[in-house]
Amino acid sequence: MADPVVASHLSLVLKAPPTISSPSHSLPQQHSKPMASSLNSAASLRLFVSSSSSSSSAAARLCLRSTSLSFSSSLKSLAFSPLSRHKRGSAVSMSSTGGFSSVASPKCAASDPDQLKSAREDIKELLKSKFCHPILVRLGWHDAGTYNKNIEEWPRRGGANGSLRFEVELKHAANAGLVNALNLIQHIKDKYSGVTYADLFQLASATAIEEAGGPKIPMKYGRVDVSGPNECPEEGRLPAAGPPSPADHLREVFYRMGLNDKEIVALSGAHTLGRSRPERSGWGKPETKYTKDGPGAPGGQSWTVQWLKFDNSYFKDIKAKRDEDLLVLPTDAVLFEDPSFKVYAEKYAEDQETFFKDYAEAHAKLSNLGAKFNPPEGIVLDDGPR
């Protein structure tokens, strides 16, 4: 889905001393047919954060809680040797030369609330300048959407654990183009070393929904990051756009996550944001009258006319079937064909308030799937009334 580079169907933590820099390397072009769907409660621990607290003092408090005091935030800018990278894993980020390099970040027990709130403000500014709401939603969903409820062990069960920052997972066909989302927010991660990748991905996703006019998502934070690419899930856990039996496929994927029919349909409604680009996903038109002028990079085919506004247009437009310039994938059309899905799709087409309520609950549930929280009950940022 999304801008500046999106093609989806809505879906480091190292503690080793730096050695020598590794050379930059470029990721290969990704051409893929499958395309993932862009694819809970509030925590009992509520932290009231003083706005006068500085990021540096917050980071210091956080690192005092950590098991190691010897690595500063500057560690993130140091590259590791190929041998170290092979042993411990690497994250992908842009180097000064424009290529990709492997970098490490300090390991702290949980994200710092002060830094989370500051990072959220930076994400809001990024959204205003880059119009990247859809791809940030997709980033969070694809990190969480690998969860398998039948596997108890963390992180083998997948889910919201920051594994999507590693090249091996970014290369999965369903994640085509998501390296661009990582590049968009990497500077925020560099700035706030006390925020885990797992939390940053989910914070960016929820903030994008809210800033596009969607509902307030009842989020909690404190997700622990996986430490290396060896902990990434295998390919094939995310939804495809055009399976032979769309309804069966959606249920197979989302039931595995522990989600139900109502949540499948509600989450599908996030396709009100974004576009599909055929050069990445194999789906959609190169451009339409709604996308040829942007905003952001032009092109692609959107599901809705105002594809940067979060509302219930997705359901209305699928039901109407009037505009050939709007995208309808097999997994979209089936929402009005399958008897169980249709109950919710019809309701959401008529009642945006109900859609917003159900969507917010489903999004929050998805964002917590498979996550390991520290503290276990998570951290809720108290913002007061919206």
**How far apart are alpha carbons 180 and 135 in whole angstroms?**
8
**How far apart are alpha carbons 212 and 218 in whole angstroms?**
16
With b for 16 or more beta-carbon neighbours within 10 A and e for fewer, the 16-27 pattern comes to: eebeeebeeeee
**How far apart are alpha carbons 267 and 359 in whole angstroms?**
6
**How far apart are alpha carbons 146 and 238 in whole angstroms?**
6
Distance between the two ends of the chain, CA-based, in angstroms? 27
With b for 16 or more beta-carbon neighbours within 10 A and e for fewer, the 213-248 pattern comes to: ebbebbbbbbbbbbbbbebbbeeebbbbbbbeebbe
Catalytic hit among 142, 249, 271, 363 = 142
- Please give the structure tokens belonging to residue 21: 């820099």
- Catalytic: 133? no
10 Å Cβ neighbour count for 69? 10
Q: Is 21 helix (H, G, I), strand (E, B) or coil?
A: coil
10 Å Cβ neighbour count for 273? 34
Distance of CA 220 to the CA centre of its chain: 15
Burial class (CB in 10 A: 0-12, 13-18, 19+), 321: exposed
- CA nearest neighbour of 173 among 263, 245, 239, 262: 239
Residue numbers annotated as active site: 142
